[in-house]
């Protein structure tokens, strides 16, 4: 029987979340080596300010990802809205392969579209405007040119600002736009989509061009548990870590 293919997202690892970090490291040591591939669909880190940041827990996470890759498990990472500054050095040190914002994979014979999920939330116009600006080389080079300490302080300020901005937004605005979902799936020729970002785990069935389509939303990890979508041949299941 083929090995599982695993999907996770939205761990938001940081120094102030030791329980999630500990659970993730245990997952990398014990569960992930049993899989043929691990797909991390964004926001592995609560904030990534550059590949030169080795402050805890970044160093040990890099080391454990490298050990996992050395076991033969293929590790793919799709940057999210919190860790889109992940770059080449991180990949070289971990053996992780970065994916584009949209990636199509052959999941046991079925083309499956993968994305973090923020691109689907097109009703959140202020965020989409910031996203467009922050993905330009000019913006990123300007940020990465700042001293590490300045970037660390800026990341704390950004997380605080993001928290208060979300409190003023409706849940509907921060969720995906179904029309955008359909356009993305149609544009990539897929009837299955897997994403994270919204922290609303569910399986959505709907019709796309006269056929049944599915959208799988991954759960965010929290202090009590982490959730993994496990796929093997034609069946999937949720596994609690």
Q: For residues 87 and 141, give the distance between their C-alpha atoms in angstroms, rounded to a whole number.
A: 12
For every one of its 241 residues, what pLDDT tens digit does the chain have, with 9 covering 90 and above? Answer: 799 999 999 999 999 999 999 999 999 999 999 999 999 999 999 999 999 999 999 999 999 999 999 999 999 999 999 999 999 999 999 999 999 999 999 999 999 999 999 999 999 999 999 999 999 999 999 999 999 999 999 998 887 777 666 666 667 778 999 999 999 999 999 999 999 999 999 999 999 999 999 999 999 999 999 999 999 998 999 999 9
Q: How many domains does the chain have?
A: 1
Domain housing 76: 5-240
Q: What CATH number does the domain containing 180 carry?
A: 3.60.21.10
In the block, which residue shows the tokens 């079925």? Answer: 110
Q: For residues 97 and 155, give the distance between their C-alpha atoms in angstroms, rounded to a whole number.
A: 24
């Amino acid at each position: 029987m083929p090995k599982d293919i695993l999907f996770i997202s939205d761990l938001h690892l940081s120094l102030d979340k030791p329980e999630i970090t500990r659970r993730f490291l245990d997952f990398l040591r014990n569960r992930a080596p049993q899989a043929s591939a691990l797909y991390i669909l964004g926001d592995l880190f609560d904030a990534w300010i550059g590949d030169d940041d080795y402050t805890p827990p970044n160093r040990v996470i890099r080391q454990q990802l490298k050990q996992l890759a050395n076991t033969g498990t293929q590790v793919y990472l799709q940057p999210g809205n919190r860790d889109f500054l992940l770059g080449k050095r991180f990949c070289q040190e971990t053996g992780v392969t970065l994916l584009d914002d949209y990636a199509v994979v052959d999941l046991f014979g079925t083309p499956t579209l993968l994305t973090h999920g923020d691109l689907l939330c097109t009703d959140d116009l202020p965020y989409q405007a910031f996203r467009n600006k922050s993905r330009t080389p000019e913006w990123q080079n300007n940020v990465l040119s700042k001293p590490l300490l300045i970037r660390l302080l800026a990341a704390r300020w950004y997380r605080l600002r993001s928290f208060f901005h979300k409190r003023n937004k409706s849940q509907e605005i921060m969720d995906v736009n179904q029309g955008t979902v359909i356009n993305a799936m149609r544009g990539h020729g897929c009837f299955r989509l897997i994403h994270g970002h919204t922290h609303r785990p569910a399986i959505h069935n709907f019709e796309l061009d006269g056929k049944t389509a599915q959208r799988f939303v991954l759960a965010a990890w929290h202090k009590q548990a982490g959730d993994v979508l496990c796929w093997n041949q034609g069946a999937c299941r949720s596994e609690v870590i």
